[in-house]
Amino acid sequence: MRRIDAGLIAGVALAVAMPGCASPVFSADILGKKPDVVSRPLSDVPNATAIGTRIWVPDLDEGFVPQGLAYIGGQLALSAYRSADPKQGRGPCRLFLLSPATGAVAQRLGLPETCGHAGGVAALADGRLVVADTHSLYVVSGGRVTATVALKGKLRGSFADSDGHALWIGAYDRSGGTLWRIPPEALARAEIDESAATKTLPIPPRVQGLAFDRKGGAWLTVSGSRDGALLRIDPDGGRVLATYAMPAGIEDIAVDDRGLIWAVSESGSIRWSAWSTNFPLVFAIDPARLH
């Protein structure tokens, strides 16, 4: 497996389909290599008119389930864990860099054995990536993991993003979770707990992803096996300002230099192949076209 070369980090863009569309979406419309495990047509999904380029999620045939997403230096960094069993929520983790022009995987990086879910990825201002796992943060620089930070106390790494200054991590919870703002200097420690956070925000139930846009706004995703949504929130207080329907199984999100919101869905992975929604794609959303 090749390691990520920091000098190769470069650009991506993506798409979807909508309820009521007359015809299904086929692989000719999608960048990247179509996985052998995808045998049914892709599902019609909400807000298809807001979606642009689509890319097949890589390594689905190996059982990887996509989770985290970040935009860095023109490319997308995508994290995933391996499981084909609906009852198994942890497995070996992998980090990918995706090419925007072809959908091809530019690089792959295997994460430490302690990683089991890789729920989020954040791109820091200094060029480092942080992969958030439930109880650990993995700092990636120069194509390798350079540090592991244990999450203690109430901290959880279900998803992550950077606001351009600090790292934010969040906890998935069926009753309502929490966001914590973590200053970059805290990543020099071997472990941190909630006392390291400089800000804490309450968030809705079932949050799966987080992204900050270039205008100072913030976005969350919520999802399950039957539904998905993109939420625009007040980054100061966490209040939900708008809600937009999305594919079931939507996970993490990221915002590129043009303001497009990138997203990934875990529906259609081997682990979740029994779901009615089949949409194992990375895709870009134009927020101006959401309704």
Contacts of 248 (CB under 8 A, 6+ apart): 223, 224, 225, 226, 227, 228, 265, 267, 275, 276, 277, 279
Residue 15 φ then ψ, to 5°: -160, -175
- Which three-class secondary structure state does DSSP give residue 207? strand
25 forms beta bridges with 42
178, 238 in Cβ contact below 8 A?
A: no
Q: Which of these, 216, 291, 214, lies nearest to 246 by C-alpha position?
A: 291
Helices (H) and strands (E) in the chain, counts: 0, 21
The yes-or-no verdict on residue 14 having pLDDT over 60 is: no
How far apart are alpha carbons 226 and 229 in whole angstroms?
11
pLDDT in tens, 53-101: 999 999 999 999 999 999 999 999 999 999 999 999 999 999 999 987 7
Asked whether 110 and 96 are in contact (CB, 8 A), the reply is: no
The answer, yes or no, to whether residue 110 has pLDDT greater than 50, is: yes
Domains observed in the chain:
6-289 (2.120.10)
Give residue 140's identity as a one-letter amino acid code.
Answer: V
Task: Determine phi and psi for 239, rounding to 5 degrees.
Answer: -65, 135
Q: What is the pLDDT of residues 118-151, one digit of tens each?
A: 999 999 999 999 999 999 999 999 999 999 999 9
Give the predicted TM-score (pTM) of the model: 0.90
